[in-house]
Structures are given as structure tokens and as C-alpha cells.
Structure 1
Amino acid sequence: MPINWFPGHMVKTRRQIKENLKLVDAVIEIRDARIVKSSANPEIEELCGNKPRLILLNKSDLSEGAITKQWIKELSKGSIRAMEANSLTGAGLKNIKPELNNLLKEKLERQKNKGLVNITIRVMVVGIPNVGKSSFINKMAQNTIAKVGDRPGVTKNKQWIKTKMGIELLDTPGILWPKFDEETALSLAFTGAIKDEIMDTEELALKLVEHLQVLYPKELMERYKLDELSPSAIENLDNIAIKRGCIMSKNTIDYNRIAAILLDELRGGKIAKISLERP
């Protein structure tokens, strides 16, 4: 399922990030805790260079806690720190200021030695579409300045947002990259970072069952009340459809309907706490 694209607004966003890096002290990169590798835009690494960066593993309430902690250990090195959070509830967000203070310790000390007080940390917020960037900004600002949507690509224009933490956020539109491999494309599609409208959701649901029967067989069986799993993903998908009553006339499977159910329940955390990628 290879996907190639690079919409014009993403070219513009790449340029914006590069131009505005000099305006900020650090970068907060938001990723999806369920797909930490696939939700990392490799261009961010290149664009940010040595700029201090805090990687926020968002939607951590939907991921497997032990694996999320492994990712935090793996990612935290040099001028990069990682932490988990839930932008909808605000869980973990109080730790952002201390983490930024540690990342910017030397710079902040220099400013204090110059007599500066009430220092505001300016941060650029980056991330691919639909990882919860707007929800994060709204929670930090305690209002709804940034428009939130459950579809990728809602945020379009640059804007600064003040917070009560002494942090000022520079919002940027979500940016994907020109080309990614099938596994990355699948992970992004599973979690909704790629619009369902451009995907074959029936094929996507089958691929999802393939992944879950390997990574989370017990949870898959429990959620859909299956007595056992077949080595065949299509058989498992059919059995799930039967259990959920996704049957059309002449006892044929309504694959479109069961695909919608599976993807919705994965994204809503109803199947289990799931981490599709390991460090």
C-alpha cells in the first residue's frame, strides 16, 4: 500500500518551520504513542537540527504503558527528551515546563545572569496530521484558540498562543513527507493520520486483523467474543463480522461495515491499549 504525495501546503509548512526556528527556544514534536516510529516525520529531524526538542508521546492512554516507557528511554538523548501525555485530559502536561527548563538550562541561566526575570519560553509545535496537536495547544492555553478536528489537516495557518505556564507556542500545520513504505502507511492509516477517503478501508481492516492476531491475540478474541483465532486473517475478519451482525442478504459479509467498526474501535481504544510499534 505505497503512498506518494506532497500537497502544496506541506511544502509551505516545511519552509515555515525552517524560517521560524530562529524565533523559538525549542521544538515540541507531537507523536502518536501507539505508532511512535511511523508518526515521526523524518524531515523534522533534519529541519530542527540541534534545536532542543521535546518529543511528546500523545494519546498515551491508548497505548501499552510499558512499551511507551521503553520508547521514552530510547528517544531521550542529547538535546532531545521524550515524555508521555494525553492532550484531551491534560495528563502529563504539567511536566512540560520542567522538561523544557532542563533542556534549556544553560540558556535560561545566561538570561537570568543578565537580570532577565519572568522569562517566557518560546516553542514551536510540530507534528504530522491528526496526532492531537490542536488538542494539545487548546489544553495548554485552556481555551479553543486552535481549531480541533478528527480529520487530518485541520490546522492550516501559523499562529502564536500564550499559556499560563510561561510558555508561548507557535503552531504549525501538520506535515507529512513525500513518500513512505507500506508498514508506515498502514500504521498511519490504522490510527487515522491518513484520511479514510483515500484508503481502501476493507483492505485496511484485513491488514489490521493480521497485525492484531499476532500482537494482541487474546485481546482480539475477548473483544469480539471469538473462541479461537485462525491463522487466516480473512477467516478471523469474517468471524468478527458474524459476531457483530455485519451480514447482508444471502449471508454475505458486509466488509465495508465491519471495516468501519474495527477501525473506529481501534482508534477509540475499545479493543485494548495497543502499541503497534516497539522500540
Structure 2
Amino acid sequence: MAINWFPGHMAKTRREIKESLKLVDAVIEIRDARIVKSSANPDVDEICEGKPRIILLNKSDLSEKKVTNSWIEELTKDNIKVLEVNCITGEGIKNIRGALNELLKEKHDRLKNKGLVKIVDRVMVVGIPNVGKSSFINKMAKNNIAKTGDKPGVTKSKQWIKTNQNMELMDTPGILWPKFEDELVGLNLAFTGAIKDEIMDIETLALKLIELLQREYPENLKERYKLKELSDEAIKNMDEIGKKRGAMISGGEIDYNRVATMLLDEFRGGKIGKISLEKP
């Protein structure tokens, strides 16, 4: 199932972010905890050029705890802290300030030695589209997004957002992902709703999701849809789910579109259980 979706303004976005890096102390990158690898733009490492970074694994309430912990261990480095959060409820958000203090300790000590009491850090927020960036910024700004005034060298399109954590956030356009050379990356983004369903064949997408779940999370699939046994063929499992949920059309045929929509909605809402589609 080929997924080709490559917006053309990625180069401009990359250039803008690179130019803005000199204005910030650190970077907060947001990823989806269920697809930690697929929701990371591979260009971020290069663009951020060793800037202190916090990686937030958002939607961690929907992922498997032990897998998320493995990712935290895998990604943590000297200048990178990794935290699990839920940008909707705000869970884990309070840990950001402490992580930032650790990353910027040298800078803070230097400023304190000069007699500065209140230190405000400037932080750039990056992430692919639809990964929870807006929810995070709204939560940090207590749903009161306001410009803090244009700073020198900052174009009017960039927005500085005040928070009550002695932090100013620079919002950026979603860093768009490059072409999907790995089909699985495209599928993972589509499963989690990062690519709009309108441009997808959702029946095929749901079938691919069933294939993955019957292999990796068979008990979740059986329990959610009251299936006694699973077939090796995803289409047969899809048929059974349709029958159990009464998703039928006249003549006893399965309404595949209805099954697909329901299955994707329930997966994205966590109703099939805590699922991690990628492991370190």
C-alpha cells in the first residue's frame, strides 16, 4: 500500500527553523509514543545541531508502558532528555521545567553569578503535523496564547508564547516528513491519524491494521471484538468483526467501510488497549 504525500514547502520550513535556532536556548520535540520512530522527522537531529533538546513522547496513555520506558532509555543522551506526557490532560508536563534546568544548568549558573535572579528560557517547539504540538502549547500557555512581542531578528510570522514556567515558547510550522521510503512509516502515521483519512483507502488501511494486531496484539483484538479464535487471514477477521458489530448491508454482505471506520476510531481512542506499534 503505497502512501505518497510530500508537501512541497518542507525546504522553506527547514530553513526558517534553522535560522531561528540561534534565538533559542533549547528545543522541545514532540513525538507520538505509539510510533516513536515514525513520528520523528529524521532531519531534526541535523537541524538542531547539538542544541539541548527535550523529546516529549505524547499520547503515552495509549502506548505500552514498558515499551515507552525502553524508548526513554534508548533516546536519552547527554544533551537530550526524554519525557512521557499527555498534552491533552497535562500529565507529565510539570516535569519539563526540571529537565530544562538540568540541560541548561551551565547557562543558569553563569547568569546567576552575574546577579540575575529571574531567568527566562526561550524554547523552540518542533514536531511533525498532528502530533500534539498545538495541544502542548495551549496547555503550557494555560489556553491563553499571546504574542510576547516581536524580538530582534524574529519575523512577524514567528510567535513567542509566554508560560508561567519562566519559559517562552517559539511556535514553528509542523516540520513535514520527507518521502516515505519505508512503507511501514507511512502506515504507522496513517494508523494513528497523522495522515488524513480522506486521502487514504481506509478499508485497506484497516485490513493492514488487523494484520498487525493479529500478529502483535492478538489477545487485545479477540477481547475487544469478542472473537473466540483468530484466522491467519486478516480479511476473515475483518468479516467476523463486522458480524459481531452488526456492520452489514442488505443481502448479508459486510459493510467494510463501516468496519474500517469503527476499527480505526477505536484503535486511535485506545479502546483496543495500550498498543505500541514500534519497539526500540
Q: TM-score range by the shorter chain?
A: over 0.9
Report the counterpart of residue 14 of structure 2 in structure 1: 14
Report the counterpart of residue 213 of structure 1 in structure 2: 214
RMSD: 1.3
The one-character-per-residue Cα deviations of 1:165-215 (angstroms, maximum 9, x if unpaired) are 001111112122221121000000000111111111000000000011111
Report the counterpart of residue 226 of structure 1 in structure 2: 227
User: Structure 2: how far apart are the matches of 1:128 and 1:74?
Assistant: 21
Q: For residues 53-132 of structure 1, what are the structure 2 equivalents within 5 Å?
A: 53-132=53-132
Query: 1:93 aligns to what SS in structure 2?
Result: coil
Deviation at 1:144, TM superposition (A): 4.8
The one-character-per-residue Cα deviations of 1:23-68 (angstroms, maximum 9, x if unpaired) are 1000000000000010000011110011111000000111111111
Task: Could you list the structure 1 runs, at least 4 aligned residues long, displaced by more than 4 angstroms after superposition.
Answer: none
User: Structure 2: how far apart are the matches of 1:8 and 1:104?
Assistant: 35
- Check conservation: 1:158, 1:173, Cα contact below 8 A: no
TM-score, scaled to structure 1: 0.93
Report the counterpart of residue 248 of structure 1 in structure 2: 249
Report the counterpart of residue 38 of structure 2 in structure 1: 38
The one-character-per-residue Cα deviations of 1:94-153 (angstroms, maximum 9, x if unpaired) are 00000011111111111211222211011000001111110111111101539xxxxxxx
Q: Aligned letter for 2:213?
A: L
- Check conservation: 2:247, 2:259, Cα contact below 8 A: yes
User: Structure 1: how far apart are the matches of 2:173 and 2:277?
Assistant: 25
Is 2:183 the partner of 1:193? no
Residue-pair matches, total: 269
User: Structure 1: how far apart are the matches of 2:127 and 2:52?
Assistant: 15
Q: For residues 130-149 of structure 1, what are the structure 2 equivalents within 5 Å?
A: 130-145=130-145
User: Structure 2: how far apart are the matches of 1:110 and 1:206?
Assistant: 57
User: Structure 2: how far apart are the matches of 1:43 and 1:2?
Assistant: 22
Query: 1:50 aligns to what SS in structure 2?
Result: coil
Report the counterpart of residue 25 of structure 1 in structure 2: 25
User: Structure 2: how far apart are the matches of 1:125 and 1:28?
Assistant: 5
The one-character-per-residue Cα deviations of 1:208-260 (angstroms, maximum 9, x if unpaired) are 00011111110110000101101111111111111111111111111111110
TM-score, scaled to structure 2: 0.93
User: Structure 1: how far apart are the matches of 2:4 and 2:49?
Assistant: 25
User: Structure 1: how far apart are the matches of 2:178 and 2:279?
Assistant: 24
User: Structure 1: how far apart are the matches of 2:40 and 2:135?
Assistant: 18
Q: Percent identity among equivalent residues?
A: 71
